[in-house]
Amino acid sequence: MKTTKQIFSTVCAALFILAACQPVEFEEISGRGNSKNANDSVWFLTVQATKEISGQAGNDGGTKALDLTDSGQTLNAYWVNNAPVKVYKGNTCVGTLKASPDETNSALATLSGEVTVSGLNDGEELTLMVPSDTWAYTGQVGTIAGISDKFDYATAIVKVNGISGNNITTSGAVFANEQSIYRFGFKNGSSYIDPKDFVVSANGGKLVQSLNLSGSTWTPTYGSITVTPSATPADHFYYVSLRNESTTDDTYRFIVIGSNDALYLASKAIPASVLDVPGKFISAKEIAVSQPSFAPASGTIDKAEDVF
């Protein structure tokens, strides 16, 4: 989902993630546009959309993120005007809606547009996807803006509950994020390490590199994620979009290549309660790294991937 605002204590960027607001009940609304013969295959669909904020630490209404090392901070969600949302009937894409943010609360939006499908009945379900049905988590650059641009996927299911001509009334769309956002900081003793790149892997083997919709089946590819920072942040924190399908406690392992090409290793325990529902903000700002005894101090390794 492409976004334009992100309220964060140290970062102003865009991300459609973890709305810091109370759930909002929506009234169902009818589609707008020219009425057509109900036997036609083109329908005008309008949906009210918001963001699910369940699964937060302490069930606090989504106002705080879960931090593994210290107190959490808030991430707020915003829709971008004309952001695309794909519509699926079964496993077939039938159209694309455009978002129009609410004037007083940009975490809410009206989605509208035409869908093309032969026959549509009350009670049928439509799946909405932001922004596509193929999700890839490789190629990240360690920033909130980078995640917003390419690595933020969300889904919602709406039910058709009224048809007037070719205008469709549906239930409201409550979008659920399909991954969580992690904030990592690496420290060697008392000093932060700003990596040229780093690799994240999971002991449980369920860290998703990509997820593809084939027919009615989602097919995951599991493996490590390499992050190549696009810049050195002033606060030394790097943001990564991760989908971990493990159902038990897990451990992330890191291979970090410092700015002087030195090799560092680290690990971080991740409890199952963090992994139970995607869509969280998870912070580990002081991951302790160390240099293995077998590796020279600097100038020997170009990329973290070379260690494998």
pLDDT at residue 35, as a whole number: 41
**Is residue 29 situated within a structural domain?**
no
The gap from C-alpha 100 to its chain's centroid, in whole angstroms, comes to 20
**Is residue 13 situated within a structural domain?**
no
Indicate the residue among 177, 197, 222 that finishes a domain.
177
Is 30's pLDDT higher than 80?
A: no
Q: For the chain, how many structural domains are there in total? A: 2
| Residue range 130-170, pLDDT digits in tens | 877 788 999 999 998 888 888 988 889 999 988 888 888 78
Is 6's pLDDT higher than 60?
A: no
- What 8-state DSSP symbol labels residue 12? B
**Is residue 21 situated within a structural domain?**
no
Is 296's pLDDT higher than 70?
A: no
Query: Higher-confidence residue: 104 or 21?
Result: 104
Task: Kindly state whether residues 144 and 257 are assigned to the same domain.
Answer: no
Task: Kindly state whether residues 226 and 282 are assigned to the same domain.
Answer: yes
Alpha helices (runs of H) in the chain, residue ranges in sequence order: 144-150, 272-275
- Band of pLDDT at residue 40, cut at 50, 70 and 90: low
CB of 210 closer than 8 Å to CB of 221: yes
Task: Kindly state whether residues 165 and 201 are assigned to the same domain.
Answer: no
Task: Kindly state whether residues 156 and 209 are assigned to the same domain.
Answer: no
Is 34's pLDDT higher than 70?
A: no
Backbone angles phi, psi at 307, to 5 degrees: -75, -25
**Is residue 19 situated within a structural domain?**
no
Strands (DSSP E) found in the chain:
42-51, 66-67, 84-89, 92-101, 109-116, 125-130, 134-136, 154-164, 167-170, 173-177, 180-188, 191-193, 197-202, 208-214, 217-222, 225-227, 238-242, 250-257, 263-270, 281-288
Task: Kindly state whether residues 186 and 250 are assigned to the same domain.
Answer: yes
pLDDT at residue 163, as a whole number: 85
Is 60's pLDDT higher than 50?
A: no
**Is residue 8 situated within a structural domain?**
no
pLDDT at residue 49, as a whole number: 92
Query: Higher-confidence residue: 214 or 20?
Result: 214
| Residue range 203-251, pLDDT digits in tens | 999 999 998 876 567 889 999 999 999 999 999 999 999 999 999 999 9
**Is residue 11 situated within a structural domain?**
no
Query: Higher-confidence residue: 47 or 298?
Result: 47
Task: Kindly state whether residues 56 and 168 are assigned to the same domain.
Answer: yes
**Is residue 3 situated within a structural domain?**
no
Indicate the residue among 129, 150, 177 that finishes a domain.
177
Average pLDDT score over the chain? 78
Task: Kindly state whether residues 47 and 173 are assigned to the same domain.
Answer: yes
Task: Kindly state whether residues 54 and 159 are assigned to the same domain.
Answer: yes
Task: Kindly state whether residues 206 and 256 are assigned to the same domain.
Answer: yes
* Structural domain boundaries enclosing 277: 181-307
Is 54's pLDDT higher than 70?
A: no
CB of 208 closer than 8 Å to CB of 137: yes
Task: Kindly state whether residues 162 and 107 are assigned to the same domain.
Answer: yes
SS3 274: helix
Task: Kindly state whether residues 122 and 241 are assigned to the same domain.
Answer: no
Cα gap 125→128, rounded to integer Å:
10
Is 108's pLDDT higher than 50?
A: yes
**Is residue 37 situated within a structural domain?**
no
pLDDT at residue 120, as a whole number: 80
Indicate the residue among 177, 193, 215 that finishes a domain.
177
Task: Kindly state whether residues 131 and 191 are assigned to the same domain.
Answer: no
What amino acid occupies position 109?
Answer: A
- What's the rounded mean pLDDT across residues 173-181? 89
